[in-house]
Amino acid sequence: MASWDFLSKFIIVGDSGVGKSSLLVQLTDQRFLAEPDPTIGVEFGSYVVTIDETGEKIKCQCWDTAGSETFRSITRSYYRGAAGALLVYSITHRPSFLHIAEWLKDVREHAEEDVSIILVGNMSDLCPEDESEEEEEEGNETGSPQSTPSKKRSSTKANLRRQVTRKEAEEFAKKEGIMFVETSAKTGSNVEEAFKRAAYDIHARFHASSANQSRAGMTAGSTRPGVIAASAQGTDTNRGRNCCIIA
């Protein structure tokens, strides 16, 4: 018997150096790598989210993609069949937030139509809540633009500065109809929450689409693209091309 009730594919996308791999490692291994290598192509990890109300288990198969443009055509090919997507930027690196619109467009074009998307502002540990106090301490320096967030790996705390406010990210997410959370892959803050919120959304959409299908007279065990229910595994309805079981 499967150890999960639903199986769904997640993709993690965003600019290079925003912390995509670090988020996945923190989720699956509860540890933080200070100097991870940039991802080449894609990496994989899986995690089970339990729905509190029902006890149902959703196995999230997470594909962590390389942010580098060099791998873009390879990584895009992994979007197919994804029911969940994490769009990651660094709150200390504005360009990575400005590029989110392109990542979102890509996901909407290449992932499943009804994909559950969450915008993730990572590196919250580098920006204390009380930013005005931080500016005082740092003598109001403006901070020089840096080409990639990863360059900030060696920066001192003093020249790290929030470059994307929570409010503007929230507004962007609201306008696009996607979820939003700020995380720290370093401390683990909200990391599980980010994946959980996407998984809950997938679960809710799955049940809504199943209800619609049965209302429309479709067979029991029908599923939404990108999600497989263990109870219906092996039935013809669940062997569609969009399903995402990985052997």
Ligand X SMILES: Nc1nc2c(ncn2[C@@H]2O[C@H](COP(=O)(O)OP(=O)(O)OP(=O)(O)O)[C@@H](O)[C@H]2O)c(=O)[nH]1
Footprint on this chain of ligand X (rule: CB under 6 A): 16-22, 33-36, 38-39, 66-68, 122-123, 125-126, 150, 153, 184-186
Interacting residue with Mg ion among 5, 8, 14, 21 (CB under 5 A): 21
Closer CB to Mg ion, 5 or 64, in the complex: 64
The CB-nearest residue to ligand X is 19
- Inter-CA distances, 138 with 133, 135, 161, 163, 167, Å: 9, 5, 10, 15, 23
Partner whose footprint covers residue 45, from ligand X, Mg ion, none (CB < 5 to 8 Å by kind): none
Partner whose footprint covers residue 18, from Mg ion, ligand X, none (CB < 5 to 8 Å by kind): ligand X
Q: CB within 8 A of 224, min separation 6: which ones?
A: 83, 112, 114, 205, 206, 209, 210
DSSP per-residue string spanning 148-166: -GGGGGG--GGG----S-H
Closest CB 196 distance from ligand X, rounded Å: 18
Compute the residue count for the chain.
247
Closer CB to Mg ion, 25 or 104, in the complex: 25
Q: Are 72 and 44 in contact (CB under 8 A)?
A: no
Closest CB 234 distance from ligand X, rounded Å: 36
- CB-side neighbour CA atoms (13 Å) of 43: 16
Partner whose footprint covers residue 243, from ligand X, Mg ion, none (CB < 5 to 8 Å by kind): none
Q: Are 191 and 82 in contact (CB under 8 A)?
A: no
Partner whose footprint covers residue 17, from ligand X, Mg ion, none (CB < 5 to 8 Å by kind): ligand X
Partner whose footprint covers residue 22, from Mg ion, ligand X, none (CB < 5 to 8 Å by kind): ligand X
Closer CB to ligand X, 4 or 180, in the complex: 180
Closest CB 107 distance from ligand X, rounded Å: 15
Closer CB to Mg ion, 1 or 34, in the complex: 34
Q: Is 122 in the site for Mg ion (CB under 5 A)?
A: no
Q: What is the CA radius of gyration of the chain?
A: 19
Q: Is 96 in the site for Mg ion (CB under 5 A)?
A: no
Closer CB to Mg ion, 153 or 174, in the complex: 153
Closer CB to ligand X, 6 or 89, in the complex: 89
Closest CB 16 distance from Mg ion, rounded Å: 7
Interacting residue with Mg ion among 39, 148, 190, 222 (CB under 5 A): 39
Q: Which residues contribute to the site for Mg ion (CB under 5 A)?
A: 20-21, 39
